[in-house]
Every structure is written in C-alpha cells, then in structure tokens.
Chains A and B, each alone.
Chain A
Amino acid sequence: MLLLLAAARPAAAQEPVHVFRGATLYPISGPPVANGVLVVRGGKIAAVGAADAVTIPAGATVHDVSGKVILPGLVDTHSHVGGGEGGDRSAPLHPAVRILDTLDPQDDGIKRARAGGITTVNVMPGSGHLMSGQTAYLKLRNGRVVTDLLLCRDVLREVCGGMKMANGTNSRREPPFPGTRAKSAALVRERFVAAQNHRDKLRRAGGDASKAPARDLELEALAEVLDGRRQVHFHTHRADDILTAIRLGQEFGFKPVLHHVSEAWKVADQIAAAGVPSSIILLDAPGGKLETAEIRLSNGAALEKAGAAVAFHTDDGITDSRWFLRMAAMAVRAGMSRDAALDALTLAGARMLGLQERVGSLQAGKDADFIVLSGDPLSVYTHVEQTWVEGARVYDRANPAERALAVGGYGVYRGGEMHTAEGEWEDAQ
C-alpha cells in the first residue's frame, strides 16, 4: 500500500487545502488505492495514500468522494484545440514558427478538453508540412490569455513546446514542397546539417560576438532539437515512414516521439529496439485516407507486447477530447493491459513531453492535476465529474453550464469550421 507523505516544507498559511476522501485512487505510479485520501495544498499534491495512512490536515476543505474514482489529469500528447496555426505554404519547413503566437484560450476545444478530463495538452500545428512549427505544452488552467495556459513561465527564454514534423503523404505537394518520400527526407536532412553547422560556428566563436554567425531563428530552433532541449513530435503512419522517422532521429541524435503510428503493429519490434516512444490514436474504423487503411485498434497492445512506450492522443478534432478516456477502453478491448492503457492516458504521455516530474501521476510534490470520475475509468457509463488543474477546479459537471460543455446543446459551442474543414483535417491527422 502506498504511503507518500507531503514534502516537508512549511505550508504557507493562506494556501487552501483540499482533501478528497473515500474514492478509489489510481496513482498510475503504483497500484490503485481503495478508500484513498488525496491531500492538495495550493497547486501541489501534498499527500496521497490509503485512509489509514494519510493524516487529514486541520482546517482543510474535505470533499467526500466515496464511490468515485480519482485519476491524474489526462495528458493529451497531440491535439489541435486552441485554434492555433503553423507554417504557411511558402515552404515545407517552418522551424521558427510558433503555435503559441496564435492560440485562443477561449476556444471551444479547450473547454471540451476540460470536460473530458484533460489537463495537459501538446497543441500542434498540422501535418501538411515536413516541419510545420513549434508546438506548445499547455495546462488547461482557466486562463484569460495564452501565457496563463503555457507550461513554461518565460516565453522569451524557455523552450515552451516541441517541434512538429511529418512524413508520408500529407506534406507532399506542389513545389516548393517535396514530391517524393526520398526528397522529403533529403530536405529535412539538409536543414539539420545547416543547424549543425550553425551550432558549430557558435561553438567556435566561443563568447566572441564578433565571430558568431548572425542570428537565425530557424537554425536556433533546430539546434534546440540537436541539443535535446526541444522534443520532435513526428507524424507518421506507414511502416516504412515510421522507420524513416527513427532513422532521421538516429542520424541527428534525437529520439522523436512517433505520432499516430498507424502501422505500428507491423514494426513494433523495431520501434521498441530503437527505444522510441509512440503516441497513438485509435479510430472507430480504418481508412479515410490511404495511410490509415491499415490502422488497427490493437496498435497499443502490439507496442506494449514489444516493450515500447505508448501514450494516446485525441488529435482533436479527429477524435473529440470529451471521450479521451474511451481511447484507453478501446485499447483494452483490443488486447492492451488495463494498467498500460491507463498509463498511456497519463504518465506515459507526460514522459513524452518531458513533464513527468510535474504531471501524469498522483504523487506528493507533483502538480495537483486530477479528475474525479463517477465510476470505472474504462466504462462507457462513467462521466468526468470534476477536473482540477494545479489545485483549482476548472470543470464541474454539477454546474449546469459546465455540464453542457460535455453534453452539448443549443449555443454551447461557438462552432466554426476551422478545425473541421476537410483540408484542415488532412493537416491534422
């Protein structure tokens, strides 16, 4: 049984303390805890464990959640909520483009995601480019402006997301876009070689500004990839394209997170051997485009069996953020273990974003991001009742206006065509 006591720091007197007791806790970092207690102090988890092992602090607001289930807030490793944009049609690679410059915190998708229990999201530009731009890691706090939601604190100095790449058919277009797969790989390699040269010049210049090359936003962003400070998120479907993505990473010294990975079941052993994680999506039917003709619901099971890391993503609006939990259930239906499927909604995704020290599990010291469910996480009849981010409730099904975000109805969503126009879908998936 778990017993993870609060970090031994004196609590500031004004920090609110919330205690949730009676629920079955799924810490993810350990086995489920029946009749558990979760203590939240300020924005952090202070303690988590069995009822007889956790002391309830005096003065805490106690929430009786008997019969409920508490999971860490879900981590969506690939989404298009927020209405963000990436590169344009002027070039196939846009490493300097930041989606964070275009995100709308009031977007419908962000509200639907909270209703679906998602608390951390990697929002990405589309896949219609070899490199469509820099992604943004968000916390779905109730924010007014984009910086309220970003995980990074300093937009000007920190790396605030990953780098979106794609291969296969979506990025094949009229020039200047590539017309073949080999050309696609060559264009990517050229830019990474240029980034290596730029980095080497900087190193040779040492601290001498007069010898340093001129600043180049694109090469600087690529250098962050080379240095391992910016994670590549690589859209790829077909088995050969999956291996190409891995090969490019090996040449330039980065480990991509593979995304979609529709034919993972064909090359699961190679993916595992390369030590490369996969962020996958499960669809209610194959097809809709050539590259997903052979996608399988058993991809999660195949990768798990091969020993490869697996997380899920919504690719919202390909699948709706409101039913992200369903992805795990469908994976279990197709042979994945229950533990791995729940991990793939939470901690596995946190690792793929480099955020595993902050989110993805119920552990003392981590961000107080969690969801209260009405029942078993894999049951269709279960509803997300509450979503909490950093100790603040951002969704409450008991509030009719917020419940409507889960259920829909007249005037609930602003709608709009942006994420659903077919061209955009093509970019998305």
Chain B
Amino acid sequence: MNRTQTITQRAIAPALLGLPVLALAGLAFTTPAAAQLAVRGETVYTMAGAPIRDGVVLLRDGKIERVGPAAQVGVPSGYRVLTAKVVTPGLVDAHSVVGLAGLLNQPHEQDQRDATDALQPELRAFDAYNPREELVGWLRGFGITTVHTGHGPGALVSGQTMVVKTTGENVGEALVDSATMLAFTLGRSVGANYRTPGTRAKGMAMLRTALLKAQDYARKQNGPAAQRPARDLELETLAKVLDGRMPALVTAHEATDILAALRLAQEFKLRLVLDGASEAYLVIPELRAAGVPVILHPTMIRPTGEAQNASLETARTLRAAGIPVALQSGYEGYVPKTRVVLFEAALAAANGLSFEDALRAVTLDAARVIGQERRVGSLEPGKDGDLALFDGDPFEYTTHVCAVVIGGAVVSEECR
C-alpha cells in the first residue's frame, strides 16, 4: 500500500445509524489538507473534446479547476506539479466485485453472493464492502479510481451494488453511491448455484412473481395508511427497481437469456443495464430498439460455459451499432481473483475498437452507465480530481501507470 493521503468523508454517520441510504448518494469528497495540484501531460485525454497536446489540469480542493493547453493555463504558485507523457481521467471499472470478494478466495472473505436463497434484493453492498481489501489497492495502482462493485452474478437477485472510490479506510470514506443497481442473473449458472430455480424458465417465473408482489406492495404502500402492509425489505427494494429509482443490472450471456432480460424489462418497465452479454452481437436490433446500455464482459473472458461464444470484437460491434458500452473487470472464481479493466480495454482496442472509444469504455461511458458522469469519467472543471498518469500509451502492456490521483490527493506514485 502506498497511500500517501486519505480522503475523508465526514458524513458517513447517517448510514451507520440506519438513516435512508439514498441520502448518502452524491456526498462530496473533501480534502481539506490536500495541496493544490497541477498535472501536465504531453497528451491529455479529457474525454470532453479532442486530446490536448501539452495540456495542464489544475486541481483545487479536490476538484478539477481548469483544463487546457499549457500555453493558456498557467500553473499558479503554490501548486505541486506532476508531469506525465499521457494523462487520462481516473479509470472507471463499470462492474466488479472487489471489496466484497477477497483476494484469498476463502469463505470468510467471499461476500459477493449468499447461497441461502436465489432471490435476496435486500442485501446491501456497503454492509459487506472492505475498503482495505488488497485487490482494491491493486486496481488503484493501475489507475482505477472509481469502481461499481457489490453483489455479483450467479443468483436470480444477489443483492445491491454500490459505487466507491478506490481509497478510504472505511466504507464511508470510499462511498460515492450507496445503492446503485440491483444485481440480477439470468442463465444456466443460477441453476447450478441454487436448489431452485432449477431451470431458466423457472427463474423467469420466480422473478415475475416477485416483481408482481412488489408492485402490489408498492400500490398498498401508496394507499390509505390503514391498509399499508408491514415493512418488507425485499419488496421495498424491488419497488425501487419498479419505480425506476434503481436500475436492474441483469447479467445474461446467451442470446436467449439476453432476450429474456429485455422481456422482463419491458413487462415491468425496468431501467435495464445489460451485463456480461457474450452473445450481444446476435441481438443487436433488439438491443437498439430497447435502448439498453451494455456493461460488456471482460475482453479476456474464458470462452467456456455461458461465455463460450464470446468474441474479442463485441465491444467494437456494439459501439458501431450505437449501443452504449462500458467494460468491466467482472467476477473471477479462481486465479486471477480479479481482472484489471485497463488491460481489458487494451485488448478491445487491439481488436477493432478505436483507441478513444476503448478509453471511453473505461472512463466517461463507464461513468454514464453507473450514473456518475457528473462527478467522474472526464477532465472538466467541477468534476472530481481523479487522474491517471502514464509514461506512454496507456494500453501498451509495457507502459506504466506512474501516478494516481483521487479527489486531488496523490494516492500512488510508484510506476506499475
């Protein structure tokens, strides 16, 4: 661990006291002790316009103050200056399980999926997130500053997800959004993990039954006080998905399962985010018609099981079809225990996705799909001071990440 500074967040107390979770969303990071910082890059990819040659990014009080060519943006006195060949926004991993699924792969630190029931929407990600987990630091070292993490695939509904910065000594310090999406899975993998559903059709029937029950619950909750049902954590969470407060993150790899996800979203008017999606290239017209963003599987996913038909070119195919696409590190059941989204984007860039589109898939487009584009994903004034500094083309394996900045604080200065 090379963290030189921590980001503090004073307002975690409400969550710990059981106050409404959504109140935590959008809380600002503050770095009262952070020195002001200027980052100068031979090339600065802002993701908000053309790359800037010899660009400067000024960071003040943890936020981006100014961005522009060095000729136009002077460095005020008192600013520490970092330089790099290439500067990008801090990378955004659109879907991971780090912090819940620990490095050792031992039962005591595997919290990404509970095996007692296939349908558990009430499980909150921040009740299980470990910000000191070594894999969080591992990702941070490769320039990943924001992660959408939480409950993983493999259950009909495994629980909720959250967005964190890859820093902080406790969950409150790391939190960006405490309840981001609800994680669903459709496909054969669910049947292998639970007694029921034993088939995919049964899984759909169980989900539809639960959502109908939640519709009824929500209707009664909004009805006369005397008829309101007792509070039910499971139905309360599903109601948030039904009324659009929480998107449904549906992991589905085979075309059959992707279409089932679209059908479910249509029936219940869910805000669907498709995840995994190995065979997405088979159902492009349907995805376009539904206007669904895709958090695509890691490019290097093993082509076996439900991902047997995965292609290195799917990111390119989706992008060309105008479908929003972000990349993810995903869930790994064995070795290596996580992937690194920087490398997944690199291989996508080597297989037809343009350099800037690949970079977008792990910065601004990833931020959009997780609802955090106002804070992260591009270098624009007012956004969080999150940057990654490289000594060459970020996607080349032999390039190093030589500094990582989160909320205006330099959290890593070791070339990796």
Q: Which A residues lie at the B interface, using CB under 8 A?
A: 108, 283-290, 292-293, 317-318, 320, 323, 326, 329-330, 332-333, 378-383, 406-413, 415-417, 419-420, 422, 425-426, 429
Contact = CB atoms under 8 A, between A and B. Distances in A.
B236 interface: no
Interface stretch (B34-42, B149-157, B218-226, B310-318): B310-318
B351 interface: yes
Given A288-B332, A288-B336, A408-B309, A380 B395 contact: yes
Contact of A317 (B105, B106, B302): B302
A286 B313 CA distance: 27
B308 A415 contact: yes
10 contacts: A284-B340, A286-B336, A320-B300, A323-B300, A378-B398, A381-B395, A409-B311, A412-B303, A413-B304, A420-B304
Interface string B327-341: 000001111111110
Give the 9 A-B residue pairs with the shortest CB-CB distance, closest first: A287-B103, A415-B308, A288-B335, A329-B397, A287-B337, A288-B337, A285-B336, A420-B304, A283-B336
A380 B350 contact: yes
Contacts of A383: 350
| Among B105, B135, B313, residue most surrounded by chain A Cβ atoms (within 10 Å) | B105
A349 B333 CA distance: 29
Contact of A293 (B103, B281, B302, B398): B103
Given A293-B103, A410-B311, 10 more contacts: A108-B303, A285-B337, A286-B103, A286-B138, A287-B102, A288-B105, A289-B105, A317-B302, A333-B398, A378-B397
A20 to B, nearest CB: 24
Contacts of B309: 408-413, 415
B397 A283 contact: no
B286 interface: no
B280 to A, nearest CB: 11
B305 A417 contact: yes
Interface string B94-121: 0000000011111000000000000000
Contacts of B335: 283, 287-289, 292, 318, 425, 429
Given A379-B396, A415-B303, A416-B304, A285 B350 contact: no
Contacts of A419: 304
Interface in B152-201: none
B307 to A, nearest CB: 9
Contacts, number: 131
Interface in B335-354: 335-340, 343, 346-347, 349-351
A40 to B, nearest CB: 29
Contacts of A412: 303, 309
Contact of A287 (B105, B340, B350, B398): B105
B394 to A, nearest CB: 10
Contacts of A317: 302, 304
Contacts of B304: 317, 413, 415-417, 419-420
B65 interface: no
Contacts of A332: 397-398
B21 to A, nearest CB: 30
Contacts of B104: 287, 289-290, 293
Contacts of B257: none
A285 B338 contact: yes
A411 B254 CA distance: 12
- Per DSSP, are chain B's interface residues mostly helix, strand or loop, or mixed? loop
Contacts of A380: 346-347, 349-350, 395-397
Interface residues of B, number: 44
B105 A407 contact: no
Interface in B223-274: none
Contacts of A415: 303-305, 308-309
B311 A425 contact: no
Nearest to A323: B300
B400 interface: yes
A326 B397 contact: yes
B311 A284 contact: no
Interface in B7-46: none
A330 B342 CA distance: 13
B334 A422 contact: yes
Nearest to B415: A333
A289 B333 CA distance: 10
A429 B335 CA distance: 8
B282 interface: yes
Nearest to A287: B103
B134 interface: yes
B304 to A, nearest CB: 4
A420 B398 CA distance: 29
Interface in B389-416: 395-400, 416
Contacts of B340: 284-285
Nearest to A112: B303
A32 B337 CA distance: 37
Given A285-B337, A420-B305, A429-B335, A381 B138 contact: no
Contact of B343 (A284, A286, A290, A320): A284
Nearest to A282: B336
Contacts of A416: 304
A108 B282 CA distance: 22
Contacts of B300: 320, 323
Contacts of B333: 422, 425
A335 B374 CA distance: 38
Contacts of B106: 290
B350 A407 contact: no
Contacts of B416: 333
B311 to A, nearest CB: 4
Contact of B398 (A285, A286, A329, A413): A329
B93 interface: no
Contacts of B305: 415, 417, 420
Contact of A333 (B105, B282, B312, B397): B397
A407 B336 contact: no
A401 to B, nearest CB: 14
Contacts of A429: 334-335
| Among A379, A409, A410, A417, residue most surrounded by chain B Cβ atoms (within 10 Å) | A409
A394 to B, nearest CB: 20
Contacts of A288: 103, 105, 332, 334-337
A333 B393 CA distance: 13
Contacts of A407: 311-313, 351
A413 B334 contact: no
B238 to A, nearest CB: 31
A370 B279 CA distance: 34
Contacts of B303: 108, 408, 412-413, 415
B193 to A, nearest CB: 12
A379 B396 CA distance: 6
Contacts of B334: 288-289, 318, 422, 425-426, 429
